[in-house]
Structure 1
């Protein structure tokens, strides 16, 4: 009885190997080409049949927005202007802090890490002193949201990480006096108009 089971197991294993060998040796079936089929494309083997395909770029279609009133359209246009005004600053902050994190990950010396943080902080301050200080309160509020969108952390968290908790608390107090909130977060479902403006702005097109 034991020998019969072993014999059956050997037969099953042999048949499985033979089937796999047969499948491996079977040439794939390609579609017939016409006289105008001259473009080389990729192909995928689907159960022995080669299916040609071409990768296409994403196409985003936007509907025509209908405004309830001229005032609503004017408000949207102001929002669009403000978003496009501060978006480059948010992208700059994203690139600069990503670079800082990469630099810190390769340096173990605490003194050198502090130097890198100060260097990054100085660049952000230079941008603030030359350009960002001219922003309106509304533009500043949008900027704090966009920094959270791009960096994945609020402005308060970034200051806390680089400058410490006391500095973050102090900056937040000053920001609140002039109508800002460094803890502002971004929610694409809530800030739908801002998200729509960013997506259609062309900043993320290759």
Structure 2
């Protein structure tokens, strides 16, 4: 059995912001084509907007092991990127909803309900993640939310409980403070993510 990240830490970091229904994540990863018309000098001109298309040199591998690692990265991105995008949508919705609550007591009560809902909804998904997929999810949450999983948790449940979750993750060799570096160590991951988003992989 593969080593796994602490279940609740991943659930909380990927979904603490749950507030209600959101758009299906599969739509977020489906390339879109928009056809419309615009009026120019009295003439109706049809135009089409398409998703970005990325052109990269074909990856080359020195060993079979490198090729397998790349294919595993593609598989892992396809599996966890939708969850990271859900986390972003949850963050937006919950932040907006929390602003409508007049007292801190009501906000705290809502966040407790959120936490229970997250565990119920995401526990089955998180159980299926491998250790490497869990670590990738933490990085992709940073990419999607412009904040590390630790910062996201801290914003909602405070420094004490977020510190507890960080310590828990650290015992399993992970860090909720791990950031995403698309121009450095995560350059290959960013390439894969962009191509997955564009429907090219």
TM-score by length of 1: 0.68
Which runs of 4 or more aligned residues in structure 1 lie more than 3 Å from their structure 2 counterparts after TM superposition?
50-56, 202-205
Structure 1: runs of 5+ lacking an equivalent: 1-39, 45-49
- How many residues align? The count is 161
Whether the 8 Å contact between 1:93 and 1:124 is mirrored in structure 2 is: no
Q: How does 1:68-107 map to 2 (within 5 A)?
A: 68-69=61-62, 70-107=64-101
SS in 2 for 1:166: helix
Change (3 A) 1:204 1:99: farther
Counterpart pick for 2:120 among 78, 101, 126: 126
Q: Which residue of 2 aligns with 1:182?
A: 176
Whether the 8 Å contact between 1:103 and 1:116 is mirrored in structure 2 is: no
Q: 1-side partners of 2:162 and 2:130: how far apart? A: 22
Q: Which residue of 2 aligns with 1:192?
A: 187
Q: 2-side partners of 1:164 and 1:61: how far apart? A: 40
Q: Which residue of 2 aligns with 1:57?
A: 49
Q: Which residue of 1 aligns with 2:130?
A: 136
Kindly indicate whether structure 1 or structure 2 has the higher relative contact order, using CA contacts under 8 Å at least 6 residues apart.
2
Q: Which residue of 2 aligns with 1:114?
A: 108
**What is the Cα deviation at residue 203 of structure 1?**
6.8
Whether the 8 Å contact between 2:148 and 2:178 is mirrored in structure 1 is: yes
Q: Which residue of 1 aligns with 2:40?
A: 43
Q: 1-side partners of 2:191 and 2:199: how far apart? A: 13
- The structure that has the greater radius of gyration is 1
Q: Which residue of 2 aligns with 1:202?
A: 197
**What is the Cα deviation at residue 57 of structure 1?**
2.2
CA RMSD of aligned residues (A): 2.6
Deviation per CA, 1:113-149, whole angstroms, max 9, x where unpaired? 1122222222332344222133221111100001111
Q: Which residue of 2 aligns with 1:21?
A: none
TM-score by length of 2: 0.69
